[in-house]
C-alpha cells in the first residue's frame, strides 16, 4: 500500500509539474507573440519610407504629385534609372565619393588612433590644454569655420580638386575623443608588461594596444564612412563643376532645378544609397558588435 500510494503521489506531482510547465510555456509564447508583433509594426514603420522611395522612383512625376496618393504606379517606369545617367555624370561622381570616403576613413583611423593613444597613455608638456583645445572643436558648429576653411583652400588653389574636398575631414575631434576613451579603458598592466619585454612606445601601441581597440576603430570607421558619404555643405561650397562633385552634391543639383522630377531624384538617391547599403548588409554583424562593445549610442 505504501509503495502504491507513493507512486500515485509521484504521478500527481508529475502531472501538476507538467501542467505548470505548459502554463509557463504558453505565457512565454504569448509574451513572445506580443514582442514580435510590436517589433514587426516598428520594423514596418521604419521600412515604409524606403519602400515608398522605391515606389516613387518607378512612378511618373504626375503620379507622384497627384493629390490622391498613388500607392502603386500604373506602369513601372524603369527608364527613370537610365535618365539619372543622362542627367548626372553618375559614374564620375560615384568614383569621387568613393575616393573621398576611403581617404578620409583611412586618414582618420591613422591620425585619430595615434592622437587618442597619445592623449590617453603618454605624458608630455601641455597635454591637458591641447586636449581641451581639441575637444572644444566639438562645441563649435562646422558652419562657423566654413568661410575660413574655404579661404584656405582657395589660397592653396585647391578648389574643384579632390584634395580640396578631402582636406577638412582628414582628422576629427570626435575620433580622437573616441579613441582616447577606448585606450583609457584598456588595462595599464599590458603596457607595463610590454615595456618589461623591451618594447618601445610605438611597438606597444602598434602590437599591443591597437589590436585590442578594434571595436572602437570599427565604430570610428563606420561613422566616418557615413558622415563622408552623406556630406553636402562642404562639397557644394568647394566644387562648382559637376565632374568634380561627389554624389551628395550632384543630387542637390537635380533637386535645384525649376521643376523637380521627383521620380528621377528618388532613383538617383537609391543609386547613391546602394553602395553604403550593400556595405552595411555585408558587415552588419561587425557593425552591430562594434557599436555594442564601444558603448556608443
Note the pLDDT tens digit of each residue in 165-192: 999 889 999 999 999 988 988 888 888 8
Q: Residues 112, 236: one domain?
A: yes
State percent of the chain over pLDDT 90. Answer: 21
pLDDT value, residue 297: 44
pLDDT higher than threshold 80 for residue 7: no
Of residues 32 and 118, more confidence is placed in: 118
Q: How confident is the model at residue 223 (pLDDT cuts 50, 70, 90)?
A: confident
Choose the weakest-confidence range: 173-182, 222-231, 256-265, 288-297: 288-297
In a domain, 70, yes or no: no
Among candidate residues 2, 47, 60, 41, the one with its CA nearest the CA of residue 264:
60
Q: Residues 121, 176: one domain?
A: yes
Q: Residues 153, 230: one domain?
A: yes
Helices (H) and strands (E) in the chain, counts: 16, 0
In a domain, 255, yes or no: yes
Q: Residues 280, 134: one domain?
A: yes
In a domain, 74, yes or no: no
In a domain, 210, yes or no: yes
How far is 170 from 163, CA to CA, in rounded Å?
10
The predicted model gives 223-245 an average pLDDT of 89
| DSSP SS3 for 256 | coil
Number of structural domains (the chain) is 2
pLDDT higher than threshold 80 for residue 222: yes
CATH number reported for the structural domain that contains residue 286 in this entry:
1.10.3720.10
pLDDT higher than threshold 50 for residue 283: yes
Q: How confident is the model at residue 96 (pLDDT cuts 50, 70, 90)?
A: very high
- The answer to whether residues 235 and 245 touch, using CB atoms and an 8 Å cutoff, is yes
Residue indicated by cell numbers 561622381? 93
Residues near 34 by Cβ (< 8 Å), separated by ≥ 6? Answer: none
- DSSP annotation of 142 reads T
How far is 281 from 195, CA to CA, in rounded Å?
41
pLDDT higher than threshold 80 for residue 110: yes
In a domain, 73, yes or no: no
- The answer to whether residues 229 and 98 touch, using CB atoms and an 8 Å cutoff, is no
Q: Residues 102, 241: one domain?
A: yes
How far is 96 from 245, CA to CA, in rounded Å?
7
Give me the chain's average pLDDT, please.
83
How far is 81 from 70, CA to CA, in rounded Å?
20
Among candidate residues 237, 225, 242, the one with its CA nearest the CA of residue 277:
225
Q: Tell me the helix, strand and coil percentages in the chain, rounded to 5.
A: 80, 0, 20
In a domain, 64, yes or no: no
Q: Residues 32, 86: one domain?
A: no
Q: Residues 90, 145: one domain?
A: yes
The predicted model gives 76-100 an average pLDDT of 90
In a domain, 187, yes or no: yes
Choose the weakest-confidence range: 17-26, 67-76, 150-159, 256-265: 17-26
Q: Residues 39, 113: one domain?
A: no
pLDDT higher than threshold 60 for residue 101: yes
Q: Residues 183, 121: one domain?
A: yes
How far is 99 from 244, CA to CA, in rounded Å?
12
CA distances from 13 to 6, 10, 17, 102, 117 (A): 10, 5, 6, 66, 63
- DSSP annotation of 45 reads H
Q: Residues 266, 197: one domain?
A: yes
In a domain, 223, yes or no: yes
Q: Residues 201, 139: one domain?
A: yes
How far is 224 from 218, CA to CA, in rounded Å?
10
pLDDT value, residue 4: 53
Range of the domain at 10: 2-57
pLDDT digits (tens, 9 = 90+) for 10-33: 555 455 455 566 655 565 555 577
pTM: 0.79
Choose the weakest-confidence range: 102-106, 121-125, 256-260: 256-260
Q: Residues 117, 209: one domain?
A: yes
Q: How confident is the model at residue 100 (pLDDT cuts 50, 70, 90)?
A: very high
pLDDT value, residue 145: 85
Amino acid at each position: 500500500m505504501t509503495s502504491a500510494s507513493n507512486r500515485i503521489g509521484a504521478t500527481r506531482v508529475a502531472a501538476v509539474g507538467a501542467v505548470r510547465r505548459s502554463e509557463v510555456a504558453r505565457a512565454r509564447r504569448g509574451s513572445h507573440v506580443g514582442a514580435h508583433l510590436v517589433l514587426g509594426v516598428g520594423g514596418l514603420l521604419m521600412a515604409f519610407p524606403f519602400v515608398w522611395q522605391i515606389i516613387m522612383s518607378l512612378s511618373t512625376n504626375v503620379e507622384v504629385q497627384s493629390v490622391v496618393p498613388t500607392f502603386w504606379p500604373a506602369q513601372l517606369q524603369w527608364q527613370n534609372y537610365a535618365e539619372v545617367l543622362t542627367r548626372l555624370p553618375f559614374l564620375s561622381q560615384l568614383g569621387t565619393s568613393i575616393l573621398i570616403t576611403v581617404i578620409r576613413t583611412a586618414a582618420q583611423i591613422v591620425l585619430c588612433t595615434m592622437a587618442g593613444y597619445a592623449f590617453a597613455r603618454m605624458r608630455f608638456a601641455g597635454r591637458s590644454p591641447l586636449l581641451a583645445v581639441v575637444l572644444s572643436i566639438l562645441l563649435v558648429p562646422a558652419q562657423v569655420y566654413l568661410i575660413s576653411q574655404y579661404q584656405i583652400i582657395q589660397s592653396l588653389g585647391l578648389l574643384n580638386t579632390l584634395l580640396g574636398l578631402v582636406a577638412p575631414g582628414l582628422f576629427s575631434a570626435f575620433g580622437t575623443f573616441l579613441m582616447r576613451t577606448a585606450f583609457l579603458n584598456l588595462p595599464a598592466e599590458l603596457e607595463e608588461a610590454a615595456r618589461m619585454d623591451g618594447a618601445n612606445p610605438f611597438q606597444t601601441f602598434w602590437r599591443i594596444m591597437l589590436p585590442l581597440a578594434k571595436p572602437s576603430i570599427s565604430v570610428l570607421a563606420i561613422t566616418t564612412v557615413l558622415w563622408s558619404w552623406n556630406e553636402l555643405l562642404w562639397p557644394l561650397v568647394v566644387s562648382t563643376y559637376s565632374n568634380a562633385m561627389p554624389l551628395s552634391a550632384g543630387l542637390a543639383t537635380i533637386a535645384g532645378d525649376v521643376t523637380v522630377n521627383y521620380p528621377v531624384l528618388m532613383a538617383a538617391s537609391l543609386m547613391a544609397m546602394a553602395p553604403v547599403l550593400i556595405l552595411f548588409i555585408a558587415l552588419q554583424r561587425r557593425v552591430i558588435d562594434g557599436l555594442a562593445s564601444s558603448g556608443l549610442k
